[in-house]
Amino acid sequence: MEAESQASAIIPLALPKGAEKFCELCQREARLQCSKCRVTFYCAAEHQQADWVGIHERICQLLVPIRALTLCSLRQTSHTETQIKKLIEICRLVAQSKLSEGKHQEALPAAQLCLRCSIDVHGPNTVQLVPAYLLLAEANMGEKQAQNDFLSQAEWAVLKSPKCGLTIHHQLHRSLGRLHVAAGDLDTALHNFANDIYFATEEYGLDSTVTSRGYFLMADVFTKQGKIPTVHSLYSEVARIWHRHLTRLLETRKESIQNPPVDSFYAERVEVDEMLRTMLEFEQKDTRKDPARIAVVAHCLAMLSLVRDGMAYGILLLRSSKHRIKPVTSNDTRGFFFPQRLFLFCGL
């Protein structure tokens, strides 16, 4: 990676008269530039390497046509604006995936660029900046002042735009809930997660995978409070939603097993994998083990592996979970169903 992320010194005489270049990460005076795109600048090698690992490797050449134009011409060129919006989406997805993996520092460059590009397209102090503010708030986990600043900006933007949409509201309450969990204020966290679930349900439906993440986060709070029966109930709902979703995905889109998934599913897959593994560990450690609950979560992980890692590894997991899952009818109140056709398709 070091060879691919080389930087070269800026030659002042090669720049237009009066032009100043600033570091991509800290906005201080730049002394280096990316040797590949030559339109991205840094104050030191450390920031260049951090940006490369965080986001620049993914977007290096995409920046060339965008940054070759002035801001005025960007607003007049619909094609270039489309490219910036594509850049915003890539930055958002990369930041989300790194946050899902617990790589908060690595997520910062993508989140920062997401905010700057969003301002270029939508202007300052607009509700469209809220997703970037929330990414930055989560990426600054541990930096309480910075985190509060970004969350405050997100809340202010939402307050100024009461018709901003249910998705923004659910994202805001989810981020606020996580912040209060980190601060140890569990009751306020539960209040925000309840609002998160309400807005997500209104926008996506009660059985949505988006809503299920709110159930999982709420269960984490109840785990900390020692309310184990409530945790089991919420985990069962999460497992039911994902079991149905993954089964339908594999039965209706078999080509996704052979083909690598698109980037838009990557961040979600990382989160879901972590979520299901946490649930499986919880159920396995419970003194009153429920084989049915354990089997359903294990089967969800197997199906997720088929989507994520391809046939070979996923089939191994399917074989290991097959003997633990009994067929259930559609009349089963839990709503689980055993996809016999999936095993036939995989040759099991």
DSSP 165-234: -HHHHHHHHHHHHHHHHHHT-HHHHHHHHHHHHHHHHHHH-TT-HHHHHHHHHHHHHHHHTT-HHHHHHH
The pLDDT assigned to 331 comes to 41
Comparing C-alpha atoms, which of 39, 18, 43 is closest to residue 30? 43
Distance linking the first and last C-alpha atoms of the chain:
41
Helix segments in the chain, DSSP class H: 45-51, 57-59, 63-67, 71-76, 78-100, 104-122, 130-139, 144-160, 166-183, 186-204, 209-224, 228-252, 255-258, 266-285, 291-309, 311-322, 340-345
Residue 2 predicted with pLDDT over 90: no
Q: Which residues pair with 8 in a beta bridge?
A: 33
Backbone angles phi, psi at 29, to 5 degrees: -60, 130
Map out the domains of the chain as residue ranges.
1-68, 227-258+266-348
Confidence grade of residue 183 (pLDDT, cut at 50, 70, 90): confident
Comparing C-alpha atoms, which of 304, 340, 307, 345 is closest to residue 322? 340
CA–CA gap between residue 183 and residue 180 (Å, rounded): 5
Helix (H/G/I), strand (E/B), else coil: 20:
coil
Q: Are 42 and 32 in contact (CB under 8 A)?
A: yes
Residue 344 predicted with pLDDT over 90: no
Residue 122 has, within 13 A of its CA and on its CB side, a CA count of 18
Comparing C-alpha atoms, which of 41, 36, 44 is closest to residue 62? 36
Helix (H/G/I), strand (E/B), else coil: 281:
helix
Residue 13 predicted with pLDDT over 90: no
The pair of three-digit structure tokens given for residue 122, joined into one six-digit string? 């939508």
The pair of three-digit structure tokens given for residue 124, joined into one six-digit string? 């300052």
Please tell me the pTM assigned to this model.
0.72
Confidence grade of residue 12 (pLDDT, cut at 50, 70, 90): low
What is the Cα Rg of the chain in Å? 23
CA–CA gap between residue 43 and residue 23 (Å, rounded): 5
Kindly report, residue by residue over 117-165, the tens digit of the pLDDT. 999 899 988 999 999 999 999 999 878 889 889 999 999 999 888 778 8
Confidence grade of residue 259 (pLDDT, cut at 50, 70, 90): very low
Comparing C-alpha atoms, which of 140, 250, 233, 297 is closest to residue 153? 140
The pLDDT assigned to 342 comes to 42
Mean pLDDT of the chain, nearest integer:
81
Q: Are 33 and 8 in contact (CB under 8 A)?
A: yes
Please count the residues of the chain: 348
